[in-house]
Structure 1
Amino acid sequence: MRLLDMYKVETLDTRFASKNPGEPLPNAQPSKWRTPEYYFYYACFLTIPVFMFKAVYDVSQPSHPGYKKFETLLSDGWIPGRKVDNSDEQYQGFRNNIPYMALLLVAHPLLRQVYDRLAGSNSTGKDNAATADARLRRRTTFDLLFAIVFIVALHGVSSLKILVILWLNYQIATALPKQYVTATTWTFNIAILFANELCRGYRFADILAVTLPPQTTNAGSASTSDLGAWIDSYGGLIPRWEVLFNITVLRLISFNLDHLWMLDRQASSPLERKNLDPTTLSERDRVSLGAHQTEYTFANYLSFILYSPLYLTGPILNFNDYISQSRHPLPSTKRSRIAPYAIRFIICLLTMELVLHYLYAVAISKSHPDWSTYSPFQLSMLGYFNLHIIWLKLLLPWRFFRLWSLIDGIDPPENMVRCMSDNYSVLAFWRGWHRSFNRWIVRYIFIPMGGTGRDVPGWRKAVNYAAVFTFVALWHDINLKLLIWGWLIVLFVLPEVVGRMVFPAKRFKDRPNMYRWLSGAGGVFNILMLMAANLVGFALGLDGLKGLVDGIVSSLGGRVFLLGACMTLFVGVQVMFEWREGEKRRGVDLKC
């Protein structure tokens, strides 16, 4: 495989592969890579990134006046002569545990093979119904046994709390009358999000303080708080289970709604009615039809909800798809398809290590710096690389756990489709960032609310977007900063939607270059808005962003720099356009 092939979206996820490989799409444009315009862009790409890296490298040096303020946030690194910026708590937990997770990634599939042999796997090579049923039973049984051990190791005694929540949710799906399931499911799970946060994971010390007398009867020497604290001390490797439970809430909601929609279908199998081969189902059919009514058992439910490779961070897979793939493994889980994905993960991990060892953008932003000590160029690059580190710190766990799942024989959707610097559309950015979550939102919230169909009034579309992003913000974390982020995303979608209405592509049918350049200007505006929204939500907050922007535009030199930055972004957008045209020439057309 060529190096360039490694970075094709088809290599990242086979769902993106063309149904007719090598056949260009009808709207594909001729290549512009060898035109004078793009030779100029090459020159920009060979020179400007060097200065971008140097800007943050210079302010990360001990000789910089601000170094003393963030020096305490740095740790000893493995690259000689360099400290490492391991100050991001979210990524720190992942980075420090990489060796143990790598061991788990190898041990789990090996244990499955041992279990399959002990369970008497009698595969005849023919993937018939009996073989598929046996494979499903083996997989779900092993998944459940391993998951119980896994969550007890992770959360200790708190695993009992998780199992209680899972049991209650299952009762909502299976015991309530159908007309009450949807409202009760949403009420229960949103309440769980708030209760987990407000009750701090329901510590036993707090529970016993409410339910038991202040003193025990044993000479009054042991207080209930001491007993509760002693129980809480057995909290496993990750005592704060509630911090990571949000991803489980999505699976709980999806299971209940899929079960409800399954009940609304006729009693006969939809696969039989449509004459579909269960071994070659499309992803759409797996997601909507992959599980039969008899397979919505409590054991299968637990196996799905607690599936170890995807339990902590996802990507998000729905129950139907999990059951379908457990019965009939996909070709994408073969070793030849997994190897390039594993190599890309290792490249991304090494990239993150180099960034953290040489560019201390996170530590600088955490140290409440005096922004006036930085030039406008340095300020903008600090914000820019902060966003890249956010992108990498999310991408690496998602790709690691997807890699683990692929090795184990389950292919979930890829979460990060485009590099952070390969986005020029707010709508497309949302579809490609945490893609499995976006697909979940579309299936379980956006479409049931009416979506953006032609018969949906404009005000209702705006309400739908606002409701979606409010849920997304609250789901991430219950705080004002992320709520503002969600509303900003909705606000910044509007100019793009209006721009497409005012300047439709059909009006520029005879002037394609004019339309491309006009779209490039719109793309520059979108990128600036995306950077602002994500810096507010995930890095600096409103006050930090205000200080950053003031430092850039408060002087004439800063405003001149901003103009140059916009021209640079314009060049980047034009390259993004052509990269996507290259995908169309291969028969690939993504909406992101």
Structure 2
Amino acid sequence: MSFIFSWLRRIYSLDTLDTRFTSSATTPANAAADTRPASTKDARANAIAQNAPASLWRTPEFFIYYLFFITLVPLMFKTVVDASKQDHPIYPTYKHLLEPGWIPGRLVDNSDTQYAGFRDNIPYLLLLVIAHPLIRRIYASFASRTSITKPSNPSTAAAGDAQLKQRMRFDFVFGLIFITVLHGISALKVLLILFINYRIGKRLPRSYVPAATWIFNVGILFANELSGGYPLERMAKLFAPGSVTPGETDSVIVQWAQALDSMGGLMPRWEVLFKVTVLRLISFNMDYYWSVEYPSSSPIEVCSPIASNSGLPISRLDVELTEFHKKKQLDPASLSDRDRVKIPAEPAAFNMRNYLAYVLYSPLYLAGPILTFNDYVSQQRYTPPSLTRTRTALYGIRFLLTVLCMELILHYIYAVAISKASPDWSLFSSGQLSMLAFFNLHIIWLKLLIPWRFFRLWALIDGIDPPENMVRCMSNNYSVSGFWRGWHRSYNRWIVRYIYVPLGGGGGGRGPPSAKPAPPQSGFISKFLQIRNLLLVFTFVAIWHDINLRLLMWSWLITIFILPEVIGTMLFPARRWRSRPTAYRVITGIGSVGNILMLMIANLVGFALGIDGMKELLASLTGSYAGIAYMVSCCVVLFVGVQVMFEIREDELRLGINLKC
């Protein structure tokens, strides 16, 4: 039994999830990959552990909380399962949305089109996960045997450059084949957009690149949405409308365009998932733009054989980078996570082949996680030490257990189908209404988590370590800002690097991420600028997700709901309550309950019920004294949950881990 618990702890440890969580961003990769506790391998983590408070897990207060969990969690599941039974009055209204399941006697709720597209194609995706790394290994073996120049004692730099060339060449060719199979004739549309973006980044006068890059890529988001992916038939009708007489056929050009549109590959609607590609387009252009003026403080990519072998002159920047490398004595094969993102690749790496290999990298092409160009090049040259067979296998087992969890929920809880059927909410009790909303959010979380972890697992098997997108379970969040940092984490990191920091972050100073921080602002001005920047950030996030009112409302609600948290931290700063930690824990717990309710409202509006559906749900929950009493009891339960969340984070601090989310 102890072996099973030890095995489960290893599977669900933060180290298995992502080594970035158990080490600071500045920890060298070799140290970050160490499986020992964070406090034993990092001085900063050790300081965090020493300052952490004593554990509360065995106190009488928490034994009371355990009773809440033992009794209420099973009751929560029973409530929502009862609402999904066939004998419920609302069942006939959504029965048509259910499908036969693999669990005997159970139907499955596969009505969410976004997740259904992934779920129905899992066998083919698993085949691709096996085939892609296998083909790469076969190619690598063949390329190493046919290589003309083989140094007898290759240096680390030479070996890294050889690996970079080989991997980039494979990703370039495989990426072109991959999008051709996926999008058919529309692959040409994708490549045209990629080519225009590349020309913007490499050919425009440097001062125009940031504005032109952002205008072009945001414009592409709108154009893709409004045009529906630029169908050739619609374009042909603009130039050759054909006959308008009933019974007559379309012109030859229109018929030819229709035939081409029919060759749309496995995923004809390429524009739906192109949003992730847009982020990579911006990343390449901005990383190149910042690399030109990057201070001579880079420890990698110096005097590379790639530059000399390609016929390109070695620039003065390369020489400066070489000198800094010697001074700092940093190991380019073991750069920290921050350095891999921040330090630019050598100028010769910003070429068309590497650009297409990066943008079309098949494991991350469809949904991410999002990797910056600098990080991608660095990992292609030197395989991250964090990639071990044991860690990847444990991550794969964790992924399979997550899929099993989702399958059990979809077979026994029909929350998505019920919400899609727009039922008469008055037929549900207050408990059923709240649990349907609660589990709907869990399904939203899982339907995003599973594809992201699948594609990250594919990348890990292939030798690339992208950031983990989901840090915590949806039920383990009490802070609006912390929730944002931990939900779609790689996108959040991208937002911080390419939008939030250039806008000035919370301080108002503009400039690239490598620039010196701006002079500190007063507390009020700093908070005002922070809210302004967050409003701009979340507006972009909404537009990026989808161009509709529902998601704009979601983005503005998130921004508005951050305000109480910001104001609360200003009115109740932690430093003033150091002598009264229990009182401070109670006060922050009450505020966190409000945060959780606001997070649920915002995400139900943005991703599930919409504004009208949310109004109906709230009216049903608060339309009677019984409903109000139930909501009060829910707040008490949430308070208990928040106290456990606090202690989970304190437990992490005792291990030297501070995730800030």
The normalised TM-score by structure 1 is: 0.97
1:465/1:220 Cα in 2 relative to 1: closer, same or farther (>3 Å)?
closer
**Residues 1:68 and 2:92 are matched in the alignment:** yes
Q: SS state of the match for residue 39, structure 2?
A: coil
Q: SS state of the match for residue 339, structure 2?
A: helix
Unaligned 5+ residue runs, structure 2? 1-5, 28-37, 41-45, 297-316, 508-519
Equivalent residue, structure 2, for 1:505: 574
Spell out, residue by residue over 1:307-346, the C-alpha distance to the aligned partner (whole angstroms, 9 max, x if none).
0000000000011111100110011221011111111101
Equivalent residue, structure 1, for 2:398: 344
Alignment of 1:122-521 (within 5 A): 128-212=156-240, 214=242, 222-265=251-294, 267-268=317-318, 269-270=320-321, 272-274=323-325, 275=328, 276-453=330-507, 454-455=520-521, 457-521=526-590
1:220/1:374 Cα in 2 relative to 1: closer, same or farther (>3 Å)?
closer
Equivalent residue, structure 2, for 1:51: 75
Bigger shift: residues 21-30 or 102-111:
21-30
Matching residue's letter, 1:181: V
Residue 56 of structure 1 and its aligned partner are, at CA, apart by: 1.0
Matching residue's letter, 1:476: H
Bigger shift: residues 142-151 or 25-34:
25-34
Residue 290 of structure 1 and its aligned partner are, at CA, apart by: 4.7
Unaligned 5+ residue runs, structure 1? none
Contact 1:28 1:584 in 2 (8 A): yes
Q: Distance in 1 between matches of 2:558 and 2:16?
A: 30
Contact 1:270 1:289 in 2 (8 A): no
Contact 2:49 2:653 in 1 (8 A): yes
Contact 2:287 2:344 in 1 (8 A): no
Residue 145 of structure 1 and its aligned partner are, at CA, apart by: 0.9
Q: Distance in 1 between matches of 2:651 and 2:155?
A: 38
Q: Distance in 2 between matches of 1:36 and 1:406?
A: 44
Equivalent residue, structure 2, for 1:98: 122
Contact 1:290 1:323 in 2 (8 A): no
Bigger shift: residues 362-371 or 17-26:
17-26
Spell out, residue by residue over 1:366-412, the C-alpha distance to the aligned partner (whole angstroms, 9 max, x if none).
00100000011100000000000000000000000000000000000
1:272/1:153 Cα in 2 relative to 1: closer, same or farther (>3 Å)?
farther
Matching residue's letter, 2:39: P
Percent identical pairs in the alignment equals 56
Q: Distance in 1 between matches of 2:50 and 2:567?
A: 26
Equivalent residue, structure 2, for 1:9: 14
Q: Distance in 2 between matches of 1:271 and 1:395?
A: 41
Contact 2:224 2:271 in 1 (8 A): yes
Residue 5 of structure 1 and its aligned partner are, at CA, apart by: 3.1
Q: Distance in 2 between matches of 1:270 and 1:262?
A: 12
Contact 1:172 1:185 in 2 (8 A): yes
Matching residue's letter, 2:19: T
Matching residue's letter, 2:374: N
Q: Distance in 2 between matches of 1:123 and 1:345?
A: 41
Contact 1:271 1:289 in 2 (8 A): no
Q: SS state of the match for residue 386, structure 2?
A: helix
Q: SS state of the match for residue 543, structure 1?
A: helix
The normalised TM-score by structure 2 is: 0.87
Matching residue's letter, 2:539: T
Matching residue's letter, 1:366: K
Contact 2:358 2:376 in 1 (8 A): yes
Residue 125 of structure 1 and its aligned partner are, at CA, apart by: 8.9
**Residues 1:561 and 2:590 are matched in the alignment:** no
Contact 2:240 2:251 in 1 (8 A): no
Spell out, residue by residue over 1:136-189, the C-alpha distance to the aligned partner (whole angstroms, 9 max, x if none).
011001001111111011000000000000000000000001000000000000
Residue 27 of structure 1 and its aligned partner are, at CA, apart by: 2.9
1:549/1:123 Cα in 2 relative to 1: closer, same or farther (>3 Å)?
farther
How many aligned residue pairs are there?
589
Equivalent residue, structure 2, for 1:82: 106
Residue 124 of structure 1 and its aligned partner are, at CA, apart by: 7.3
Residue 459 of structure 1 and its aligned partner are, at CA, apart by: 3.2
Spell out, residue by residue over 1:287-312, the C-alpha distance to the aligned partner (whole angstroms, 9 max, x if none).
11151111101000000000000000
Contact 2:161 2:381 in 1 (8 A): yes
1:123/1:366 Cα in 2 relative to 1: closer, same or farther (>3 Å)?
farther
Q: Distance in 2 between matches of 1:544 and 1:460?
A: 33
Residue 206 of structure 1 and its aligned partner are, at CA, apart by: 1.2
Contact 1:290 1:324 in 2 (8 A): no
Q: Distance in 2 between matches of 1:220 and 1:481?
A: 41
Alignment equivalent of 1:583, drawn from 635, 652, 658 = 652
1:124/1:285 Cα in 2 relative to 1: closer, same or farther (>3 Å)?
farther
Residue 222 of structure 1 and its aligned partner are, at CA, apart by: 4.4
